[in-house]
Amino acid sequence: MKIIKIETITVGLPFENPGPESSFAIAEKNILNSLLIKIETDKGIIGWGEAFGYTSIETTKAALHSMIIPHLIGKNIENKYDIQTINKELHLKLHIFGRYGITMFALSGIDIALWDIIGKAENKSISELLGGLKINSLKAYASLFLYDNAEAAAKVSVKAKNEGYTIIKLHENAMAPIKSSREAIGNTALMVDVNCVWSEDHMEEIKNTLTEAKLYWLEEPIWPPENYSGLSKLRDQGFIIASGENACTAYQFKEMISNKAADILQPSVTKVGGISEIVKIAALKKNNFRVVPHSPYFGPGFMATLQVIGALTPDSEIERLYVDLKADLYNGASNIDNKGNISIPNGPGLGMEPNLEIIEKYSVN
C-alpha cells in the first residue's frame, strides 16, 4: 500500500493541575499541547503517531512539512521491515540537521504512525508484531509537576498516594520539597527528577540529604545530560541513576551502558526515534540495568509506550503525568486501576483508536 496523505494536528487538552501554579515548561496555563501525526494509505488504513510536543510543536511541524512529509508521499509500505527501510533513508538524509531534537521528534512521530498502520493492516497489535504481550498491566508512577514549594509537593504526593499510586516522582531540585514529600508519604517509593539542574559540586553538598530521602531512583541529576563519568560516579556512591530521555538514538544508549552511566535507561518514544529505536534499545545486553521508557504525554506516544513495554520490557513501570485530564484522546486508557496499575490494550496497531470527536473539538490548528 502507498502513503497518500500526512497531516499534523495540534490538540490542546485541558487539564487541572492538582497543586498550585507550576512553572513546568511543558504546559501553558491549563492546556497540554500534543502534536499528532495522521498518515493515510491508499488502502484506507490510517495510522496515528505523536512527536514530542508542548512548546516545540510549531518547530517540529515545520520540520515535518518542509523536510519529511514530501519525502514520504507515495512511499510503499507493506510490513514492519519497510519501516526500517524508510527510517534508514530518513535518518541518513536528515542527520546533518541533528540526530537529536526537533528532527528526531518529527521522525519519532512518523515511525509510531507507520507501526500503527502495519498493525492495522495485519490485524495485530504492535505488541503482537513485537512478539506478544508479556504482561497485561503495568505499575504506574505519578509524575508530578515542579512546584518548588515544600507544602505543595507534600500535599500533591499524598493526594497521588491516596488515589492509589504506589510510586511517586517529583520534579524538584530544592531539598525542602523532597524532604517534605518523603515525610508525608512514609515508605511509598519516591523518585526525584532534577532535569539536569545540579552540578557535580552541588551534588557533593546535598548527597547526605538525598541519601536520607531513600530514593527509588534519581533522574538526570547533573548538567549536562551526557556527563556519563559524573553519572557513573554517583552510581558508585550508591544512587540509583535514571537517565536517557534526552539521549540520541540507540547508539547513544550503548555509550551510556559502556560508560556505566545509568541503572535505569529512559528512552522516550516520541523523542528517540519512535518504536523502532526503542526496539533496538530494549535489545541491548542487559547488565544490571533496566529500560523504563519516559512517557509524560497522553497521545499515540503514550499508547506506543504501553505496547513496547508490554512486549519487550515487562519489568518497566509506566510514567503517568499527574494531572487531572479534562478531555482524553483514549477514554481513560492512561488512568490507574485500584492497584495503581495501567492496563495495556491489545487492539490492532496502538491497541486503541483515538477519539476523533475529542481530536476535532480540541484541535488548535
Can you tell me the distance from the alpha carbon of 116 to that of 7, in angstroms, rounded to the nearest whole number? 15
Closest distance to Mg ion from the beta carbon of 210 (Å): 16
Residue with Cβ nearer Mg ion (172 or 193): 193
Can you tell me the distance from the alpha carbon of 152 to that of 146, in angstroms, rounded to the nearest whole number? 10
Residue with Cβ nearer Mg ion (111 or 193): 193
Closest distance to Mg ion from the beta carbon of 144 (Å): 12
Contact present, 64 and 109 (Cβ < 8 Å): yes
Residue with Cβ nearer Mg ion (319 or 353): 319
Q: Is the dihedral of CA 108, 112, 117, 122 positive or negative?
A: positive
Distances from the Cα of 222 to the Cα of 226, 231, 237, 254, 354, angstroms = 9, 8, 14, 20, 37
Task: Return all residues near 207 (Cβ < 8 A) that are at least 6 apart.
Answer: 237, 239
Residue with Cβ nearer Mg ion (11 or 192): 192
Residue with Cβ nearer Mg ion (41 or 295): 295
Residue with Cβ nearer Mg ion (193 or 226): 193
What backbone torsions phi and psi does residue 240 show, to the nearest 5 degrees?
-85, 110
- For residue 287, what are the β-bridge partners? none
> Strand 290-291 to strand 264-265: parallel, antiparallel, or no bridges (unpaired)?
parallel
For residue 244, the tally of other CB atoms under 10 A from its CB is: 27
Closest distance to Mg ion from the beta carbon of 83 (Å): 27
User: Shortest Cβ contact with Mg ion: which residue?
Assistant: 193
Can you tell me the distance from the alpha carbon of 159 to that of 165, in angstroms, rounded to the nearest whole number? 9
Report the run of H or E that residue 16 belongs to, with start and end: strand 3-16
Q: Would you tell me which residues interact with Mg ion (CB under 5 A)?
A: 193
Strands (E) across 292-350 are located at: 318-321, 324-325, 341-343
Residue with Cβ nearer Mg ion (170 or 275): 170
Contact present, 38 and 48 (Cβ < 8 Å): yes
Residue with Cβ nearer Mg ion (14 or 101): 101
Does the N-terminal peptide bond of residue 314 adopt cis geometry, omega within 30 degrees of 0?
Answer: no
Closest distance to Mg ion from the beta carbon of 145 (Å): 12
Strands (E) across 52-186 are located at: 137-143, 167-170
Closest distance to Mg ion from the beta carbon of 178 (Å): 15
Closest distance to Mg ion from the beta carbon of 196 (Å): 9
Contact present, 216 and 188 (Cβ < 8 Å): no
Lookup: cell for 22: 507550576
Closest distance to Mg ion from the beta carbon of 244 (Å): 9
Closest distance to Mg ion from the beta carbon of 292 (Å): 11
Residue with Cβ nearer Mg ion (225 or 348): 225
Contact present, 319 and 244 (Cβ < 8 Å): no
Closest distance to Mg ion from the beta carbon of 179 (Å): 20
Closest distance to Mg ion from the beta carbon of 172 (Å): 12
Q: What angle do CA 294, 211, 172 make, to 5 degrees?
A: 45
Residue with Cβ nearer Mg ion (193 or 277): 193
